Structure 1
């Protein structure tokens, strides 16, 4: 018994460390530095089971890392969102966590705003013993009726992809299977969440051909799998 407890004492800190949310840069500060990148993603030492998100390069799109797979989306000359995969990308702010195991929670809910997503994640986190003062990642997987997303675009005409007067391209995603990947924190508003929210959420389709930042959701009551980091 003592031997088993010793191994628990040794391994538990390592497992908790693997799930720690890491933040580089700040959402509210990046404009003051002309959106200069603060991290090169290929320099991240541990990419195994990595989940993360942030703007692509100098506001040239969106980045979402899914279980160690790096995806970035950008807007082409005709306004289409183009999804690609590479570690040779940078970001002015980036939030990430290595999550080797998830706890799946089946729910049947309607989701019609980011606020409702935030409430769902908050309620499930409390029910499952999470400390809401500690940031964590989450996932919501299923079939979505309608999701409005955006992909950011450059703010300066010296950056490739700049279109005068346009800061983002908006997309309406209807009847898609996919996943919402997000990060929760009540201490990082203006850092990796907006100042009016406790969550930052991206949507990625099941076939990985589309990815963008979640703006709105219209979802009748349906069955979903919510994933929280396994404690």
Structure 2
């Protein structure tokens, strides 16, 4: 994996929350009301197993705000997209292995995109490190503790310190047809950071394996590191003690 590389200016002021409206991707459990409406376009299984990398949605058409929040992959897997408090950020791999990060993207199209809207957040501060393999269970436990729907789709942020962070930005030009997740990571600009301070933005769902989470995983996160001018998909990370997990307020 390459270490973090210089990219274009990335000035992210507030890392807030989500954008919804319209249909919901999954209904809430009867005993726990959903705090945000989540919509998804495209599907990981169709991208990876059927080669369906064409446009599934125009990003500007489904990010009306206020407080829009989303993550996804651009059409033809040309890069990544992250929406942070209505600001659309796109990240592309250059031929020389660096990144081109742009504060624009409303006209872009995505092959996979998950979007929601959150008016208010509630926080939980982690009292111990959470290794990568335990993040799904920790987020689910926090949802249940706060009476939120742990069965449907929920937007999540994590702010604070991270360790052993591995990230990538897909470069579809280097991807052979029919490549799996490991092939997608190899066909990318990628990096590892032993320690970092920033924000993860993403979604939790137990119902969307192969749609917007990988099989066997309940979360899909992107990382935003303003001081390192970096935005990309998270492959693995440890959440450090003291980091704050943000969930939609009821």
TM-score range for the pair, normalised by the shorter chain length? 0.7 to 0.9
TM-score (norm 1): 0.82
Q: Which residue of 1 aligns with 2:117?
A: 98
Q: CA deviation at 1:207?
A: 4.1
Corresponding residue to 2:107 among 70, 83, 88: 88
Cα–Cα, structure 1 residues 209 and 88, in superposed 2: closer, same or farther, change >3 Å? farther
Which structure dedicates a bigger proportion of its chain to strand? 1
> 1:119 & 1:197 partners in 2: Cα distance?
10
Q: Which residue of 2 aligns with 1:151?
A: 169
> 1:88 & 1:105 partners in 2: Cα distance?
36
1:39-58 correspondence to structure 2 within 5 Å? 39-44=57-62, 46-58=64-76
Partner SS state of residue 29, structure 1: helix
Partner SS state of residue 109, structure 1: coil
Partner SS state of residue 62, structure 1: strand
Q: CA deviation at 1:216?
A: 1.8
Q: Does the CA contact (< 8 Å) of 1:25 and 1:92 recur in 2?
A: yes
> 1:81 & 1:109 partners in 2: Cα distance?
33
Q: How many residues align?
A: 207
Q: Which residue of 1 aligns with 2:8?
A: none
1:70 aligns with 2:82: no
> Residues 138-167 of structure 1: CA distance to partner in whole angstroms, max 9, x if unpaired?
11100223311011111578xxxxxxx952
Q: CA deviation at 1:109?
A: 2.0
Q: Which residue of 2 aligns with 1:6?
A: none
Q: Which residue of 2 aligns with 1:119?
A: 137
Higher normalized contact order (CA 8 Å, seq sep 6+, divided by chain length): 2
Corresponding residue to 2:208 among 182, 185, 188: 188
TM-score (norm 2): 0.76
> Residues 41-72 of structure 1: CA distance to partner in whole angstroms, max 9, x if unpaired?
11126222111111023101111111111111
1:108 aligns with 2:127: yes
Q: Does the CA contact (< 8 Å) of 1:82 and 1:210 recur in 2?
A: no
Q: Which residue of 1 aligns with 2:37?
A: 20
Q: CA deviation at 1:181?
A: 1.1
Gaps of 5+ in 2: 1-32, 176-184
Q: Does the CA contact (< 8 Å) of 1:201 and 1:213 recur in 2?
A: yes
1:137 aligns with 2:147: no
Cα–Cα, structure 1 residues 44 and 17, in superposed 2: closer, same or farther, change >3 Å? farther
Any runs of at least 4 consecutive aligned residues in structure 1 with deviations exceeding 4 A, and if so which? none
Q: Does the CA contact (< 8 Å) of 2:174 and 2:187 recur in 1?
A: no
Q: Does the CA contact (< 8 Å) of 1:107 and 1:223 recur in 2?
A: yes
